[in-house]
Amino acid sequence: MGLFNKLKGEFIDIIEWLDDSNDTMVYRFERYQNEIKNGAKLTVREGQLAVFINEGQLADVFTPGMYTLTTENLPLLSTLKGWKYGFNSPFKAEVYFVSTRNITAQKWGTKNPITLSDQRFGMLEIRAFGTYVIRVQNAPIFIKEIVGTDGHFTTDEIAEQLRSMIVTRFTDAVGEANLPVENYASNVNEISEYVHGVLQPEFEKYGIEVTKFLIENVSMPEEIKKEIFELSRLNAIDLNKLAQMKAAKAMEKAAENQSGTAGAGMGMGMGFAMANQMGQTFGGGQQQQQQAQPAASPPPPIPPALTFHAVINGQQAGPYDLNTLKQMAMQNQFTKETLVWREGMANWTAAGQLPELNSTFISVPPPIPGI
């Protein structure tokens, strides 16, 4: 270093940091031989902290404001230096400016899919991505645990580590939540808040606060999406009619695959059976004049029985069919206020609000008077 720079460093009496970047977290104030003069002016702006370090030991921390450096406002440094009656000569110390502003638009995502176990779909994989916002909450801990002696520390130097922490905690959180897979896409806000609470203690160990955590998207395989859509449609229609319609279509297709005169006759017979069945199901007009009952025509499949999961004594139980729920209602184990859920429902709902459960409570006796 030339003589001019040496003299310039010795006459510096203003210590400040003008930050013109959006990603700098820590900046070390550089000067010749780290010398600070008695009475030097320290300026700490809003969104900053100034941390003094003496020979590797953390000393005094200054919040936003303007200071004249003396032994009165450098108590820890004075103790480390052994200043009993003040000082007159320049002293050596490192000054680190730490940004305490929110650092936004930090991105995270699952590089590899997360494997989950669902009661209906078995093992499946999902992916997720989003953004988060951080800021330095405890400057001394952040410098000690993360920065070290780095004179210009940016978010790029810690981003990969933070993303790994987020993905690990997100994976644990969604596994412990044990939600139906279709609820991940419809409850991103609730899941974001839950994961945020899980992440915060981990980041605090490094002096960092996660001020915002967002899940932007949760994706799953296309075949699982199709099955979920089909289940939602089944919930909105009459299952009996759907089963009969599918049986009619199956018979029609079987007739088309037959060959020869016998096949044509069978196809006509199946067509008559289908017309008769559809007329009875959907309230058709005139009764069919010709009905054929081919021995080879199979009966339609038995519609699946309705079953419900229920919250019993604060825990999920079931699934139960309607007869079981009716018996439980007789024993006051199942009431209209009991929360229930079945495939296709988005949320848990009180049993009394579902029309298909009305018959469950008809035979329940009223409370005995006076008891």
pLDDT at 281 exceeding the cut of 50: no
Q: Which residues partner with 62 through β-bridges?
A: 50
- Taking the whole predicted model, whether its pTM rises above 0.75 is answered as no
User: Is the C-alpha dihedral spanning 215, 220, 225, 231 positive or negative?
Assistant: negative
pLDDT in tens, 6-55: 444 444 578 999 887 888 999 998 876 667 887 889 999 999 999 998 88
Report the helix count and the strand count for the chain, using DSSP H and E. Answer: 10, 18
Q: Which residues partner with 68 through β-bridges?
A: 41
pLDDT in tens, 102-149: 998 899 998 888 887 777 777 778 888 999 999 999 999 999 988 888
Among candidate residues 49, 46, 42, the one with its CA nearest the CA of residue 26: 49
pLDDT-based confidence at 273, cuts 50/70/90? low
| SS3 readout for 243-262 | HHHHHHHHHHHHHHCCCHHH
Contacts of residues 187-195 at CB distance under 8 Å and 24 or more positions apart, as own/partner, are 188/215, 188/216, 188/217, 188/218, 191/215, 191/218, 192/130, 195/166, 195/169, 195/170
Q: What is d(CA 94, CA 80) in angstroms, rounded to the nearest whole number?
A: 13
pLDDT in tens, 313-368: 888 888 888 888 888 888 888 888 889 888 878 888 988 888 888 877 776 566 66
Mean of pLDDT values over 232-253: 65
